């Protein structure tokens, strides 16, 4: 064993050494349909105006720590209820980590139990990883075979484990479906004053459904969103809203200046032109309908309902399909190793008509 190997063994946590890093494949030269990105750029005249605003940004200064202007635009443009504020993060990933850290009692005092973080599974990987890195226990509750919530199993798990945090993705990633809103409300109520429910609405621009307006109804509810899927993945901006007293606690964990000046300027500009981004989301929803119908017509393919900007489907051999599509310069996501419920499932981002047709042709050739 080398000196560096010994150093790592002696200093890095066992559970960290045992896992791989979050892998993002090189997409150079590929049709990239694996990351749920909006394929449309801003119109040329808006890009030019944005470029000027970015050029005028004060890069020599730290961002305004309160982010007051950006927060006000988010609240007024994106349906945050009156009297509620937002907390900003470097994408949803950082917000998930902030919340996990804030609740993660680690049982260091006599009789104190470790915190539990829970989610229906399969789920976004950062729910479990953030719990792990914060020192909390993660409990996944399998969804039903049709990917709907198993309400009774969730309620039983809440009673047994008393989670501090429960993530409910709406729509869910990687399955794409919307959980039943009444079932979600029942889970939020069951948590009461012992657990926080986080409704992750990363794909809200496509689902057009939200729990944001219900924040006043549930003191233990937090709604989290990102601008990534709306068409701003490159600026890495997420936001969440909830009871002001809850946000005050999360604010203590948020690193100072976690949103950079260029992100702040770009986000404020984009929110001034939200109609353009909403129109792009409408185009993608139309393409989702077309793509789902054409996929459903293919032999041996099972298409699952989606309210997001991606479609999950089951094929005869996911490994073979992904390998052959990659050879044809089309990147999609192989879900089959994530969860036994996702056996032979793949996920494809809804893109432009041209890229969707290229994917369909490649898929047909692989079947």
Asked whether the predicted pLDDT for residue 25 surpasses 90, the reply is no
Mean confidence (pLDDT) of the chain: 95
Residue 151 pLDDT = 98
Other beta carbons within 10 angstroms of residue 49's beta carbon come to 15
Residue 54 covered by a domain: no
pLDDT tens profile 197-238: 999 999 999 999 999 999 999 999 999 999 999 899 999 999
Residue 276 pLDDT = 96
Same domain, 191 and 336: no
The DSSP bridge partners found for residue 168 are 199
Quote the CA–CA distance of 32 and 30 in Å, as a whole number.
6
Same domain, 111 and 188: yes
Residue 26 pLDDT = 79
Residue 144 covered by a domain: yes
Q: In which band, very low, low, confident or very high, does the pLDDT at 107 lie, cut at 50, 70 and 90? A: low
Residue 18 sits in a domain whose CATH number is 3.90.1150.10
- The domain in which residue 333 lies consists of 12-42+275-366
Domain count for the chain, please give it.
2
Nearest CA among 307, 366, 287, 292 for reference residue 334: 366
Same domain, 280 and 301: yes
Section 16-32 average pLDDT: 86
Asked whether the predicted pLDDT for residue 108 surpasses 70, the reply is no
Section 193-198 average pLDDT: 97
Q: In which band, very low, low, confident or very high, does the pLDDT at 129 lie, cut at 50, 70 and 90? A: very high
CB 275 within 8 A of CB 283: no
State which of 272, 296, 321 marks the end of a domain.
Answer: 272
Residue 48 covered by a domain: no
Same domain, 82 and 229: yes
Same domain, 237 and 293: no
Residue 169 pLDDT = 98
Asked whether the predicted pLDDT for residue 111 surpasses 80, the reply is no
Same domain, 161 and 267: yes
CA 160 to chain centre: 27
pLDDT: which is higher, 312 or 19:
312
Residue 5 covered by a domain: no
Residue 162 covered by a domain: yes
Residue 3 covered by a domain: no
Residue 101 covered by a domain: yes
Q: For residue 89, give every residue at least 6 positions away whose Cβ sits within 8 Å of its Cβ, in sequence order, or none.
A: 95, 98, 237, 238, 239, 240, 254, 258, 259
Quote the CA–CA distance of 345 and 68 in Å, as a whole number.
43
Asked whether the predicted pLDDT for residue 347 surpasses 70, the reply is yes
Section 90-94 average pLDDT: 97
Residue 23 pLDDT = 76
Residue 7 covered by a domain: no
The pTM for the full model equals: 0.95
Residue 191 sits in a domain whose CATH number is 3.40.640.10
């Amino acid at each position: 064993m080398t000196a560096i190997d010994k150093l790592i063994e002696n200093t890095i946590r066992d559970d960290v050494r045992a896992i791989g890093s979050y892998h993002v494949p090189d997409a150079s030269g590929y049709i990239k349909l694996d990351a749920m990105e909006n394929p449309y750029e801003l119109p040329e005249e808006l890009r030019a105006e944005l470029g000027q605003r970015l050029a005028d940004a004060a890069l020599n200064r730290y961002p305004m720590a309160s982010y007051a202007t950006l927060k006000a635009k988010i609240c007024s443009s994106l349906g945050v209820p009156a009297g509620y504020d937002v907390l900003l993060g470097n994408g949803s990933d950082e917000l998930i980590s902030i919340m996990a850290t804030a609740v993660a009692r680690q049982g260091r005092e006599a009789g104190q139990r470790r915190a539990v973080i829970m989610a229906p599974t399969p789920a976004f990987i950062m729910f479990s990883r953030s719990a792990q890195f914060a020192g909390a226990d993660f409990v996944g509750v399998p969804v039903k075979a049709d990917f709907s919530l198993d309400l009774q199993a969730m309620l039983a798990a809440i009673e047994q484990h008393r989670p501090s945090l429960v993530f409910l993705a709406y729509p869910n990633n990687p399955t794409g479906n919307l959980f039943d809103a009444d079932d979600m409300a029942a889970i939020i109520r069951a948590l009461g004053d012992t657990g926080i429910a986080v409704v992750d609405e990363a794909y809200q621009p496509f689902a057009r459904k939200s729990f944001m307006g219900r924040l006043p109804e549930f003191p233990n509810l937090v709604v989290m969103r990102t601008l990534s899927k709306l068409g701003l993945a490159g600026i890495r901006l997420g936001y969440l809203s909830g009871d002001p007293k809850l946000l005050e606690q999360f604010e203590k964990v948020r690193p100072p200046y976690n949103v950079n000046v260029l992100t702040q300027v770009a986000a404020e500009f984009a929110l001034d032109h939200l109609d353009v981004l909403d129109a792009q989301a409408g185009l993608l929803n139309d393409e989702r309908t077309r793509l789902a119908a054409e996929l459903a017509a293919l032999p041996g393919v099972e298409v699952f309902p989606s309210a997001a900007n991606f479609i999950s489907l089951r094929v005869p051999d996911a490994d073979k399909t992904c390998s052959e599509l990659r050879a044809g310069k089309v990147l999609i996501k192989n879900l089959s190793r994530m969860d036994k419920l996702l056996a032979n499932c793949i996920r494809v981002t809804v893109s432009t008509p041209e890229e969707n047709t290229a994917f369909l042709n490649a898929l047909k050739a692989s079947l």
